[in-house]
Structure formats: structure tokens, C-alpha cells
Structure 1
């Protein structure tokens, strides 16, 4: 069986837009991806490690544990052997508590890539492949957390292009979620159920073709 780790934030955790409720596993894109891969005859297990508010490498001054680099090596060690790690982070880097650019967020992804590749896994276990997924672009954020994302739409412009450059330079797989989905108009920050289904299918097809083709 091939284990695939999804390391992400509230988009993948499955917040229902403008609520504090969560989509079921079968309706979240990691669950959709797993179901489709199993239907394709792939022996896989999707492991979700998705935390609301997670950044690439920055801390949240109000909530602990949001620096995505902290503990990542142990997460890799915990779930090894891993076939693939999917990284989909970045939008929270542009919360108002951080004066970040897309270049800085990109360097955050670089740090995560290096941590994954240097994690203290058991001897003989494979270093997993990595897929960097550029998250859907933020829309003007509405609702209770709108104040956290003041100016974020403008500051995050070009994130997908930056991630594409990094993926090429660091020889990871790359997928731009913007090619298949966009954020919900309800809150501008999360995906609705239909978009989860679309993204899950797209990533299942990509993973099947590029990672599990010989499985």
C-alpha cells in the first residue's frame, strides 16, 4: 500500500464556507482523491494533516502551532514510509499579522521541501516524492475572519507562478489548483463541496499518472 500525506490548512481540512462546520472525509478533496485512486485499482491510503490557519513557516501570534515547519520532520517520520507528500499552503502567509510577499512565501515552501527530504526516517525507507500545489487565489474575504485578510488579495498575487518556479528548481511535482477551481464567493477563502470534488478528481488523475503509474 502507498501512503500519501496531505499537509495543508483549512482549505483541505474542509471548512464549509462562512461556517465553522466541516465537510465529511468523502466530500473533502483528499477523500475524493482516495476514492478515485482506489477505483482505479491503486492501493493507497490518504493521510490528512490539515490545520486551520497553518502558514508555511510563520507563527500565528494568537494560536499555537500554525508554523508549518514546526514538527513537520516528525510528521514525516511518524507516517513513513510515504510515497508522496502533497504541500498545499500559502494563503495564510498573507494574513495581516505578516507583511509578506509571494517570494517570501515561496521560500517558506522551500524550507518545507528541505525538511521533508531531510526528515529522520528509518534506514532503507524511501524519501517521498513531493507535490507542491498552489492554492486557489484568495478572493475578497467575507465573514468573521475578513479582518485577518485585509490586503491579502493584492499581496498574494503571483503566488502560483512563484511556486511553479520553485517546484522546477527543487525538482518537485507541481499542480496549480487555479486551473480547475476557485474560492467560494461566500467567504472568498474556502472551497465549496463541488469544488472539493473537482480538485480531488484532478489531483487523483495527476497522482495516478505521475506517481502511481507503475504501482
Structure 2
């Protein structure tokens, strides 16, 4: 069995926009992806390590554990051996508590790639391939999270290109989720249920050609 780790934030955790609810596994995109790959004959397991509010390398001043670089090496040890690690982070780097631009956020993902490749996995176990997914562009945030992401849509532009450059420079796979779906129609940040379906099938198709 090939194991695929999704290391991500609330977009992949499956939060239902403008609520604190969560979509079930088979409806959130990592689950849609696993089911599609299995139906295509792949013996795979998609492991989710998705945390609401996770940044790439910055801390949340109000909630502990949101720096994605902290503990990532141990996550690699826990789940080894892995065939692929999927990174889809960045949106939370643009919360109002940070004055980041797209380049800075992409450098955070670059650090995560380096951590993955340097993790102390057991001798003889493979270093997994990495797929970097750029999240759909933030549109004007609405609803309960609007205050957290004030003006984020003005600082987000360029993230897709910056992540593509990081992925290319570090010989990682790259995918633009924004080419598949827009951000939520409800809150402008997350994914609606039908958007999870579209993204999960697109990621499965991408991985099917590489596994």
C-alpha cells in the first residue's frame, strides 16, 4: 500500500464555510481523492494532517501549534514510509496578524519542503515525493472570519506564481487548485462541498499519473 500524507489547513480539514462544522471524509477533498484512486485500482491510503489556522512557518498569537514547521519532522517519522506528501498551505499566512506578501508565504512552504526531506525517517525508507498545491485565490472574506482576513485578498496575489517557482526550484510537483475551483462562495476563503469534489478528483487524476 502506498501512503499519501496531506499536510494542510482548514481548506483540507473540510470546515463547512461560516460554521464550525466539518464535512465527512468522503466529501472533503482528501477523501474524494482516496476513493477515486482506489476506484482506479490504486492501493493507496490518504493520511490527513490538517489543522485549522495552520500557517507555513508563523505562530498564531491566540492559538498554540499553528506554526506548520513545528513538529513536521516528527509527523514524517510517525507516518513513514510515505510515497507522497501533499502541501496545501498559505492562506493563513495572510491573516491580519501577519504583514506577509506572496513571496514570504512561499518561502515558508520552501522551509517545509526542506524539513520533509531532512526528516529523520528510519534507514532504508524512501524520502517521499512532494506535491505543492497552491490554494484557490482568496476573494473578499465574508462572514465570521472576515475580521481575521481583513485585506487578505489584496496581499494574496502572486502566491500561485511564487509557489510554482519554489516547487520548480526544489524539484517538487506543482498544482494550481485555482485552475480547478474558486474559493468558497460563502466566505471567500474555504471550499464548499462541490468544490471539494472537484479538487479531490483533480488531485486524484494528477496523482494517478505519477504513482
Aligned match of 1:118: 118
Q: For residues 17 and 187 of structure 2, what CA distance do their matches in structure 1 show?
A: 6
Instruction: State how 1:16-55 maps to structure 2 within 5 Å.
Output: 16-55=16-55
Deviations 1:110-155 (A, max 9, x none): 1000000000000000000000000011111111121111111010
Please, what is the CA RMSD of the aligned residues?
Answer: 0.5
Structure 2 equivalent of residue 138 of structure 1: 138
Separation in 2, partners of 1:16, 1:144: 12
- Establish whether residue 152 from structure 1 lines up as the match of residue 149 from structure 2: no
Q: Which segments of structure 1 move beyond 2 Å, counting only runs of 4 or more?
A: none
Per-residue CA deviations over 1:29-55 (Å, capped at 9, x if unaligned) read 000000000011100000000000000
Partner of 2:12: 12
**Partner secondary structure for residue 144 of structure 1:** helix
| 2:105 equivalent in structure 1 | 105
| TM-score for both structures, normalised by structure 1 | 0.97
- Number of residue-to-residue matches in the alignment: 211
CA distance in 1: counterparts of 2:83 and 2:100, whole angstroms = 32
| 8 Å Cα contact 1:139/1:185 also seen in 2 | no
* In structure 2, C-alpha distance between the alignment counterparts of 1:185 and 1:36, rounded to whole Å: 25
Deviation of the 1:104 alpha carbon = 0.6
Provide the residue aligned with 2:74 in structure 1. Answer: 74
Tell me the residue number matched to 1:87. Answer: 87
Three-state SS of the structure 1 residue aligned to 2:18 is coil
How many angstroms apart in 1 are the aligned matches of 2:191 and 2:85?
Answer: 21
3-state SS of 1:35 partner: helix
What is the CA–CA distance in structure 2 between the aligned matches of 1:19 and 1:129, rounded to whole Å? Answer: 34
**Larger mean Cα displacement after TM superposition, 185-194 or 54-63:** 185-194
**C-alpha separation between the residues in 1 aligned to 2:125 and 2:61?**
36
Counterpart residue number, 1:197: 197
